[in-house]
């Protein structure tokens, strides 16, 4: 790939950015390629040494805050024409509603996952707490002289406590997994705005 192709490719990949941002980046890569050629590389070698246009564009996008990415995406290139502004205002009830709906969907997915985690944790805690509670009941039964009652309660306490303790490992794994899923989900949403 020669220098012009390389620069054209970057220009295409960064088309959501302002002309100023694009030109600044291209100046930098222009200079980098010229410097490497001055150092004895051929044009193709110099371009190859810089990295691929994908990599160049990706690094720039990764460094752009998501709010700017969205703004760039929405704004597009150059000034909006009058009819576009009118259209945007006229269709506001539609896209505003859609935007809110989209945000609510994202929010509800995250909340659903988190409440599942919470529900499991509460169940686990309830099992352990009631296991301990039933154990005390059996102690009281023992003191009160109800031998059979005490043995049955103690057995039940052990079973409940055992279930609670056994559930710690899967519940914790589930919690960790969920957090990973949420993180992945949010970065996937960000990736929708990064080409």
Quote the tokens at residue 68. Answer: 């700017």
Compute how many other C-beta atoms are within 10 angstroms of the C-beta atom of residue 124.
19
Q: Measured between alpha carbons, how far is 103 from 58 in angstroms, rounded to an integer?
A: 25
Quote the tokens at residue 103. Answer: 């945000």
Q: Measured between alpha carbons, how far is 155 from 146 in angstroms, rounded to an integer?
A: 14
From 2, 23, 42, 59, residue interacting with another protein (rule: CB under 8 A): 59
Compute how many other C-beta atoms are within 10 angstroms of the C-beta atom of residue 21.
15
Among the residue ranges 52-60, 72-80, 90-98, 133-141, the one whose residues contact another protein (CB under 8 A): 52-60
From 50, 109, 168, 194, residue interacting with another protein (rule: CB under 8 A): 50
- The CA angle 145-146-150, to the nearest 5 degrees, is 115
Among the residue ranges 50-58, 70-78, 129-137, 156-164, the one whose residues contact another protein (CB under 8 A): 50-58
From 25, 113, 117, 141, residue interacting with another protein (rule: CB under 8 A): 25
Work out whether 4 is an interface residue with another protein (CB under 8 A).
no
Work out whether 51 is an interface residue with another protein (CB under 8 A).
yes
| Interface residue list for another protein (CB under 8 A) | 25, 27-29, 31-32, 34-36, 38-39, 49-51, 55-56, 58-60, 62-63
């Amino acid at each position: 790939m020669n220098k012009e192709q390389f620069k054209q490719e970057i220009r295409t990949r960064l088309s959501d950015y302002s002309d100023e941002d694009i030109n600044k980046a291209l100046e930098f890569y222009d200079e980098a390629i010229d410097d490497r050629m001055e150092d004895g590389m051929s044009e193709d070698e110099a371009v190859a040494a810089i990295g691929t246009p994908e990599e160049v564009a990706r690094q720039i996008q990764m460094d752009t805050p998501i709010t700017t990415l969205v703004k760039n995406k929405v704004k597009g290139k150059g000034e909006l024409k009058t009819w576009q502004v009118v259209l945007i205002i006229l269709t506001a009830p539609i896209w505003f509603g859609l935007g809110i709906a989209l945000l609510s969907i994202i929010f509800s997915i995250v909340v659903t996952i988190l409440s599942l985690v919470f529900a499991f944790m509460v169940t686990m805690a309830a099992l352990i707490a009631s296991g301990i509670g039933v154990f005390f009941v059996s102690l009281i039964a023992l003191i009160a002289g109800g031998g059979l009652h005490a043995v049955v309660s103690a057995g039940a306490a052990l079973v409940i406590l055992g279930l609670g303790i056994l559930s710690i490992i899967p519940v914790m794994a589930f919690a960790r997994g969920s957090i990973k899923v949420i993180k992945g989900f949010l970065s996937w949403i960000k990736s929708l705005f990064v080409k």
